[in-house]
């Protein structure tokens, strides 16, 4: 149903370097006409491969220079507690992202706040509002590097 050929992959590569690149530019660099490039890009969007474009904002410049990863254990780890906490924490303005995980913790929450005082307040005021939160471990993030060259994998094993 989704035959990702080399042309699709090339378009994906181009748009990942800059999601706002014009269709004309994409077409030129991958070597097809703008019409073909547009058809393919719309196909990728329709099939859900491309979900959208996210704005990359400098967090320090908007007054939130302090980032942290907060590992959280909820008890008991019932569906009700997991989904309830997930939706609650994902909606907080401090939260950049939420990972729901296995392992010794149930959540890793990525936050950005103005300073260490705000971070401390987030942990001891906001998180403790939730009775299901059993354990919290905070790590300051010095640097967050994102890879914007995500390549498709030809599913190995059983294709």
**Residue 35 interacts with DNA (CB under 7 A): yes or no:** yes
36-44, 110-118, 141-149, 151-159 -> range binding DNA (CB under 7 A): 36-44
Does residue 42 interact with its own copies by CB under 8 A?
A: no
User: Could you say which of DNA, its own copies, none residue 146 binds, taking C-beta under 5 to 8 angstroms by partner kind?
Assistant: its own copies
Among 10, 28, 69, 136, binds its own copies (CB under 8 A): 69
In the range 40-69, which residues lie near DNA by CB under 7 A? 40
Cβ atoms of 113 and 66 within 8 Å: the answer is yes
List Cβ neighbours of 4 (8 Å cut-off, separation of 6 or more).
Answer: 49, 152
Tokens, residue 29:
């660099």
Q: Counting contacts by CB under 8 A, is residue 36 touching its own copies? A: no
- What per-residue string of b and e applies to 73-111 under the rule 16 or more CB within 10 Å gives b? bbeeeeeebbeebbebbeeeebbbebeeeeeebbbbbbb
Nearer to its own copies, 64 or 133 (CB): 64
- Residue 50 CA from chain centroid, whole number: 14
24, 75, 137, 144: residue in contact with DNA (rule CB under 7 A): 24
Cα separation, 9 vs 21, in Å, equals 16
Give the 3-state secondary structure of residue 70.
Answer: strand
Binding stretches for its own copies (CB under 8 A)? 2, 4, 12, 15-16, 18-20, 47-59, 61-64, 69, 86, 90-91, 93, 95-105, 108, 110, 112-115, 117-118, 137-157
């Amino acid at each position: 149903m989704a035959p990702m050929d080399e042309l699709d992959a090339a378009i994906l590569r181009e748009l990942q370097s800059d999601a706002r690149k014009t269709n004309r530019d994409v077409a030129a660099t991958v070597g097809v006409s703008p019409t073909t490039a547009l058809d393919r890009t719309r196909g990728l969007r329709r099939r859900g491969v491309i979900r959208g474009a996210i704005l990359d904002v400098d967090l320090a410049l908007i007054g939130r220079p302090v980032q942290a990863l907060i590992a959280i254990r909820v008890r008991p780890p019932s569906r009700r507690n997991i989904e309830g906490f997930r939706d609650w924490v994902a909606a907080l303005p401090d939260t950049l992202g939420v990972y729901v995980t296995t392992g010794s913790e149930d959540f890793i929450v990525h936050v950005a706040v103005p300073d260490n005082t705000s971070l401390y307040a987030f942990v001891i005021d906001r998180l403790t509002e939730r009775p299901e939160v059993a354990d919290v471990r905070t790590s300051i993030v010095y640097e967050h590097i994102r890879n914007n060259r995500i390549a498709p994998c030809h599913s190995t094993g059983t294709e």
